[in-house]
């Protein structure tokens, strides 16, 4: 599918309760979700025909909608069933799945109390998020201009489309400068996350990661923490200041698309791809492919 525009792909998309041809899954230009970012979404991965942590993603989609003040008109069970059927219809084994819910076009303005809530699910073949060779040696991150906002100014606990505007700007700027991604600080100047992934650092055999108080506590983030603890690695969630990066030895990102990806450089700071990161990469790969049992701690 490389190089094919997303509106020209083939197959079906689940749209408001039924499967429709890919090209027919359209919305009006005056849709509220387009103009005012009143939409929430998820990113899910299927490995060997099984969707990793589907239930958790669907629950978060419902919670994100609740935070944005609307209710998804389909139960979690209905969405899960539709997603599994879609994967079969698309004849996909390893794939990316994108559920999204948004306010429709009945009202156009800041207020949209009477707008229909629409829901769609699409699935497609998904290559590595980062260049595979670059990923193995560690990707390079720039420092982002924009910061994650104060929770008092944005619904940071939701996976809302509007929160990704500064992520797109930051990733575009990083790529223009030859980097794979960007590290974002929060409004206090503390280390937060990359543009679409959580971040971890390692020093003296101990893993450190920022407290997710103004950005998503990612499902993959929690999975990585569980995998690390299974290995007996100590994990500390705490405030991390930018200047501390000079003291860390290893660094990695986590996310549904990112999986577990080593980082070799963040601005002026350099990191090695060490044994702990490689171990977590291997453990995550085994877990999502059903070769390692999940535990209650990861749920």
pTM listed for this prediction: 0.93
Helix (H) or strand (E) run with residue 63 in it: helix 54-67
Q: Identify the CA nearest to 209 among candidates 168, 253, 179, 176.
A: 253
* Residue 31 in this model has a pLDDT that exceeds 80: yes
Strand partners, 131: none
Can you tell me whether residue 212 is helix, strand or coil?
coil
Average of pLDDT values for 131-146? 88
To which residue do tokens 């190089």 refer?
3
pLDDT for residue 299: 38
Render the burial of 90-129: b for 16+ CB within 10 Å, e for the rest.
bebeebbbebbbbbbbeeeeeebeebbbbbbbbbbebeeb
Do residues 175 and 182 lie in contact, with contact meaning Cβ atoms separated by under 8 Å?
no
pLDDT, tens digit, 9 for 90 and up, residues 267-289: 999 999 999 999 999 999 999 99
Token code pair at residue 175: 């790529």
Strand 234-238 relative to strand 206-210: parallel, antiparallel, unpaired?
A: parallel
The torsion angle over the Cα atoms of residues 4, 33, 57 and 84, rounded to 10 degrees, is -50
Average of pLDDT values for 205-220? 98
SS3 content of the chain, % helix, strand, coil (to 5): 30, 30, 40
Classify the C-alpha dihedral 293-260-217-125 as positive or negative.
negative
Do residues 174 and 181 lie in contact, with contact meaning Cβ atoms separated by under 8 Å?
yes
Model confidence at 2, pLDDT cuts 50, 70, 90, reads: low
Average of pLDDT values for 196-212? 98
List of domains in the chain: 6-125 (3.30.470.10), 132-298 (3.20.10.10)
pLDDT for residue 128: 66
Strand partners, 262: 252
To which residue do tokens 């983030």 refer?
221
Average of pLDDT values for 31-45? 97
Token code pair at residue 177: 């400068």
> What percentage of the chain reaches a pLDDT higher than 90?
91
Q: Identify the CA nearest to 16 among candidates 6, 8, 26.
A: 26
Model confidence at 1, pLDDT cuts 50, 70, 90, reads: very low
pLDDT for residue 129: 66
Tell me the catalytic residues. 159
Q: In sequence order, what are the residues at sequence separation of 6 or more whose Cβ sits closer than 8 angstroms to the Cβ of residue 194?
A: 141, 181, 182, 183, 184, 253, 255, 258
């Amino acid at each position: 599918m490389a190089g094919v525009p997303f509106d020209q792909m083939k197959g079906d998309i689940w749209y408001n309760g039924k499967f429709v041809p890919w090209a027919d899954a359209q919305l009006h230009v005056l849709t509220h979700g387009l103009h005012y970012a009143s939409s929430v979404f998820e990113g899910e991965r299927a490995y060997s025909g099984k969707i990793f942590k589907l239930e958790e993603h669907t629950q978060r989609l419902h919670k994100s909608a609740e935070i944005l003040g609307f209710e998804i008109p389909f139960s979690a069970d209905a969405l899960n069933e539709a997603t599994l059927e879609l994967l079969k219809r698309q004849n996909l084994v390893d794939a990316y799945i994108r559920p999204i819910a948004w306010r429709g076009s009945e009202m156009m303005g800041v207020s949209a109390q009477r707008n229909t809530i629409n829901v769609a699910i699409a699935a497609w073949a998904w290559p590595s998020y980062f260049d595979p060779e670059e990923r193995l040696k560690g990707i390079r991150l720039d420092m982002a201009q924009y910061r994650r906002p104060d929770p008092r100014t944005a619904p940071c606990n939701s996976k809302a489309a509007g929160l990704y505007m500064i992520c797109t700007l930051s990733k575009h700027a990083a790529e223009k400068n030859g980097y794979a991604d960007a590290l974002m600080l929060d409004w206090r100047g503390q280390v937060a996350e990359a543009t679409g992934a959580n971040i971890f650092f390692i020093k003296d055999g101990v893993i450190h990661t920022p407290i997710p108080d103004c950005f998503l506590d990612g499902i993959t983030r929690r999975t990585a923490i569980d995998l690390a603890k299974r290995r007996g690695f100590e994990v500390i969630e705490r405030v991390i200041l930018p200047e501390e990066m000079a003291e860390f030895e290893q660094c990695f990102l986590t996310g549904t698309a990112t999986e577990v990806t080593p980082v070799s450089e963040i601005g002026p700071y350099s990191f090695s791809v060490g044994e702990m990161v490689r171990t977590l990469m291997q453990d995550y790969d085994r877990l999502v492919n059903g070769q390692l049992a999940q535990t209650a701690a990861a749920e």
